[in-house]
Structure 1
């Protein structure tokens, strides 16, 4: 703005020989510029109308003012106004450029005498084209700035919505996993109570004839009941939202080979290795099974082009360890669908329920290898 004022004063100083009329005309034309940001469309029409008015009535061409005021106005209109108003201002400005060029004989040739028809036509064409180019360039610059601003706002809004949706998906996934844990643990506890009832009935009939068998049976009942109580304590804070109960037997570590075979039948080259003897509770074994199941499922979903998949399980005296490794996490893979990875988050909660830890991510030295590991302490450790 300060640079434009300097240019305007330079032109007005050069044309001050008219007794100050140019100064007053420029001041009148520049007055609406005070409202350029508040009402850019009205300001543009006001400045253009006043500039043509002083040119026709007072024979004063406010070129020094219009050289910077018109581009600024066109830029502001293109940035702030609606589509319909932007078009109206642009067409009006181009029409004003044509009128400004046609009236060049009143202000340009006033210093050179009356022009010929050819001279007037060439001068009018030159001033029309130059002023129109200034208007169009300023308008396009403003339109580009408006498009970039809208694009940035859309990206920010989309990022906010995706963040909210992601948080909702995480909460829903965690809730679904807790519900599944509660349903499966219901089966574990129901199985233990069924054993208790069966043993109690047997002890009642055996007590009369063979008290030693009754004592052994009571010990079995005690151990089973304590195991069930431990499982119930670990369910503290886990809410069940479903009313249906699955009747399928709860999978254990012994079911992992069958799981591996089903994945191999789908065409995935899976290598399975297990060592040691497990010393885990029923729920902990189920958690390790789910880790292997989720790892293989993610390979089928996201890394089906993997050349090799390895499932390793090692049972130590104090803990059991499982690892699922695949080499299908290439850099050119398509992006995962929204919500991918929430199953792994649910598994972390499941493993943590038994005092274990779980990690999932790329290999430290190979970006194309994805590793899922989980460790659960042995029962009584």
Structure 2
């Protein structure tokens, strides 16, 4: 997977959830604007000293709020429409200017955060900001050359009209600069998140490839060892058996020695094969003890309790005999999961459950710890579990629980055809 050129990165369109949130935001803005308009009209505290009818003001509120429904889908068009409506509302001297200003801020921010063409996003916002400052300059010039305005409570050292002009300019510079910068920050954050997701996916693919390579290399090594063991010892056994056959009647002593060599070679081959197969199938037992099964689970749980864990054990369904290989695999999964809990999880309680389903045996180990119980510290981790279960056509589910701890659940078919 080729890495994108991040300077030319294009942000994906909004998700359905984000589109739904845009609708909710537009509805909230509409309701707030309608309420503020009614309150201002009820107080008579109009922004421009007077205002058109309440019905016309509510129509302006509706027109300004509706474009926000598609602000992330069509950010540039929404900004242009909102800018035109904003100037129109001021031209008509609607009673409230707070919510229209907030809508304009949101439209400019959205272009910075979502417009895919970055050159167009930059210059369109600059154009709108320049347009707004020209409109502000028009208002300031009209106020300066118009009838004299009396500032009844003016008490500062500056001329009241000059102070009013400077205040308006500084406030609008901060307003539009903040909308521009916040939009750029949102775009940069989205691009950084995309970079992190790409790197994480690359790392995951690399880890999977390394794991597959390591498994293939290990299997190839074991296959070579198996070939060497079988080829060498079977050749020796064949030669000695042939020699024994030829001298069986004429020299029984020599024949007996050849047969003893065959016996010793066979035992050596079996021991070496057992060790090699143990690498593939699980932690090989070095003694002659029978393979553990489901009946040995209580001893395993007692060992976990001795290590300081609170262990609860439940059996569900009708217990029945299962194939010995399936029982061994179930035992190994529980053993490995408990070992990982003891070694790698800061856990106090672990719950071991066994379910006898209609055509499968399911074992589940869940703890309440905070550590990474998927650790491979014992040499038989999740990859080993899946390899073991795959022999029986089973499946493994492993991962963090919703609140705390880790869950390992293995399902093993018990039908003879599995």
- Tell me the equivalent position of 1:131: 172
Specify whether residues 122 and 59 from structure 1 end up closer, same or farther in structure 2 by C-alpha distance, changes over 3 A only. Answer: same
Of 6, 12, 34, which aligns to 2:66? 34
- Tell me the equivalent position of 2:339: none
What is the rounded CA distance, in whole Å, between the counterparts of 1:48 and 1:29 in structure 2? 13
- Tell me the equivalent position of 2:109: 75
- Tell me the equivalent position of 1:228: 269
C-alpha deviation, 1:238, in angstroms: 9.5
C-alpha deviation, 1:33, in angstroms: 2.6
C-alpha deviation, 1:45, in angstroms: 0.8
Establish whether residue 51 from structure 1 lines up as the match of residue 86 from structure 2.
Answer: yes
C-alpha deviation, 1:143, in angstroms: 2.4
Question: CA deviation digits over 1:127-157, x for unaligned, max 9?
Answer: 3442132012022123223322332343234
TM-score, normalised with respect to structure 1: 0.51
C-alpha deviation, 1:46, in angstroms: 1.3
- Tell me the equivalent position of 1:195: 236
Asked if 2 retains the 8 angstrom alpha-carbon contact of 1:100 and 1:127, the reply is no
Of 173, 196, 200, which aligns to 2:214? 173
What is the rounded CA distance, in whole Å, between the counterparts of 1:19 and 1:124 in structure 2? 23
TM-score, normalised with respect to structure 2: 0.47
C-alpha deviation, 1:42, in angstroms: 1.5
C-alpha deviation, 1:92, in angstroms: 1.9
What is the rounded CA distance, in whole Å, between the counterparts of 1:62 and 1:48 in structure 2? 16
Establish whether residue 100 from structure 1 lines up as the match of residue 135 from structure 2.
Answer: yes
- Tell me the equivalent position of 1:370: none
What is the rounded CA distance, in whole Å, between the counterparts of 1:17 and 1:122 in structure 2? 20
Establish whether residue 14 from structure 1 lines up as the match of residue 45 from structure 2.
Answer: yes
- Residues paired across the two proteins, number: 249
Secondary structure, aligned partner of 1:14: coil
Asked if 2 retains the 8 angstrom alpha-carbon contact of 1:30 and 1:47, the reply is no
Q: Which moved more, 1:226-235 or 1:165-174?
A: 226-235
- Tell me the equivalent position of 1:330: none
C-alpha deviation, 1:81, in angstroms: 1.8
- Tell me the equivalent position of 1:253: none
Secondary structure, aligned partner of 2:148: coil
Asked if 1 retains the 8 angstrom alpha-carbon contact of 2:34 and 2:58, the reply is no
- Tell me the equivalent position of 1:149: 190
Specify whether residues 40 and 26 from structure 1 end up closer, same or farther in structure 2 by C-alpha distance, changes over 3 A only. Answer: farther
C-alpha deviation, 1:166, in angstroms: 1.8
Structure 2: tracts of 5 or more residues without a match: 1-28, 151-158, 281-285, 288-375, 389-418
- Tell me the equivalent position of 2:119: 84
Secondary structure, aligned partner of 1:113: coil
Specify whether residues 95 and 4 from structure 1 end up closer, same or farther in structure 2 by C-alpha distance, changes over 3 A only. Answer: same
What is the rounded CA distance, in whole Å, between the counterparts of 2:190 and 2:90 in structure 1? 37
What is the rounded CA distance, in whole Å, between the counterparts of 1:99 and 1:64 in structure 2? 20
C-alpha deviation, 1:11, in angstroms: 5.7
C-alpha deviation, 1:189, in angstroms: 1.8
- Tell me the equivalent position of 2:364: none
C-alpha deviation, 1:211, in angstroms: 1.2
Specify whether residues 99 and 6 from structure 1 end up closer, same or farther in structure 2 by C-alpha distance, changes over 3 A only. Answer: farther
Secondary structure, aligned partner of 1:156: helix
What is the rounded CA distance, in whole Å, between the counterparts of 2:60 and 2:234 in structure 1? 96
Secondary structure, aligned partner of 1:192: helix
Asked if 2 retains the 8 angstrom alpha-carbon contact of 1:44 and 1:74, the reply is yes
Specify whether residues 73 and 47 from structure 1 end up closer, same or farther in structure 2 by C-alpha distance, changes over 3 A only. Answer: same
Asked if 1 retains the 8 angstrom alpha-carbon contact of 2:111 and 2:125, the reply is no
C-alpha deviation, 1:102, in angstroms: 1.2
Q: Which moved more, 1:198-207 or 1:105-114?
A: 105-114
Bigger relative CO (Cα 8 Å, ≥ 6 apart): 1
Secondary structure, aligned partner of 2:107: helix
Specify whether residues 8 and 87 from structure 1 end up closer, same or farther in structure 2 by C-alpha distance, changes over 3 A only. Answer: farther
